[in-house]
Structure 1
Amino acid sequence: MLKPLALLAITAATLGTAQASSGDAWAEFATEVETACLAATDGVFTEPTATVDPFGSESYGLAIISGDFPSGGTGSIVCVFDKQAKTVEIGGELDITVSQNAAE
């Protein structure tokens, strides 16, 4: 009887640790995507903000960078981060903005 309980306790402890580090890894990934996408759009916006998809797709990290254009007006750019190559591609300027509150 003791062996099954000990095995259950060890399994539960291991799963808790794996889940925590998985959450940490996703947060680290989101930060990496945000940093790369903000760098890729440097100079496009004044005070840009990034809204990062917390998980992305299987191969890519995804973000929308929004802000005010130096020439006036506001807009957004879609940013795609290649998870393996660690490279970024950005789309064209879109006449939409994304609110940080909308992502919550």
Structure 2
Amino acid sequence: MIVTRLRRQATGVDRYGKPTYTEVASDLDVVGWAPQVSAESNGVEVQTLEYGGTLYLHPRSDVADDDAFLVYGVRYEADGPKALWKHPTGRYPGDVLIVKRKEFSDG
């Protein structure tokens, strides 16, 4: 399965000397995708919907904890660093990365 990795890359500096960035898209071959059921939290006049899932990666995949991903055309942000995907028998099939996105709507 191929997903699109979006990585921030420095492109220069602004007039205040701060770095400017652009997103660079590249294909990333992953082992699989497991979507997560949405979670809702209601506040005063605001409803937050959280969606996410788990990307199952090949061993030593080049993934940073601030990358974003397009999975089936939907943008997700990495929710922390990748972790070892270790089988109970001791086999190491790869890495896992939790991704999520939030949507806000007015009450």
Query: Normalized against structure 2, the TM-score is what?
Result: 0.31
Q: Which one has the bigger helix percentage?
A: 1
Q: Which one has the bigger strand percentage?
A: 2
Structure number with larger C-alpha Rg = 1
Q: Which gives a bigger RCO, structure 1 or 2 (Cα 8 Å, sep 6+)?
A: 2
